[in-house]
Structure 1
Amino acid sequence: MLKKTVMSLLCLSLAVPALSFAETATHAVKPLTPHQERMKTCNADAKGKKGEERKTFMKSCLKGEVAVPAAKAPEAKKVKEIKVEKPKTEKKLNSQQMRMKTCNADAKGKKGAERKTFMKSCLSNK
């Protein structure tokens, strides 16, 4: 009986790492998200930049801005940044979001407790 228990534990100890490896392998197949793709591209483009220059470049690149490095444009001493418009997707707002949008617009100019009181009463009116 002791031999069977020892053998069972031995087999189980060998099976657990194999299962965790199989689980890890399935996770590695996931495609990158759009943000991860952008990070990968921007990181590759930032090769050779260091410190503040890299930080500035990465910030503008991740926002979707196109930057022309000074090395490629000899007439420019600094990086030229051109803002690229992102396509706006129209989202349908639900009733709560519409009410929030309307109340927020009506609350312009109000601050602090006055705004809080107004928003509470405005959002509770159905």
Structure 2
Amino acid sequence: MKTTIVAVLMTVAAVWAAPQAWAGPQQEKMKMCNAEAKDKNLAGDERKAHMKQCLSAKPVDKKAAQQEKMKTCNADAKTKNLAGDDRKKFMKECLSA
């Protein structure tokens, strides 16, 4: 019985000491938005507006963003009639920008 109580108390103490282990995506988003507001020195209505916008924003889909960038760079290279090494160089610079 004592062993069980001690184990439960140790578990509770560990969880209490590390609440970030329970932090989910919404809590992480809240931390990020708070940090942005603090960096911008926002207060009052400006802070409320920023927090509302920041917390309601959808996460950026990196794969979709990269695909869109690839489409744009390809279109630009085609417009400039680039081929061979010139096209490779342009695409490398465009995609890394």
Q: What range describes the TM-score normalised by the shorter chain of this pair? A: 0.3 to 0.5
Larger radius of gyration: 1
Answer 1 or 2: which has greater strand percent: 1
Which has the higher relative contact order, 1 or 2, with Cα contacts under 8 A spaced 6 or more apart? Answer: 2
Q: TM-score, normalised by structure 2?
A: 0.42
The structure where helix makes up a greater share of residues is 2
With the length of structure 1 as denominator, give the TM-score of the two structures: 0.33
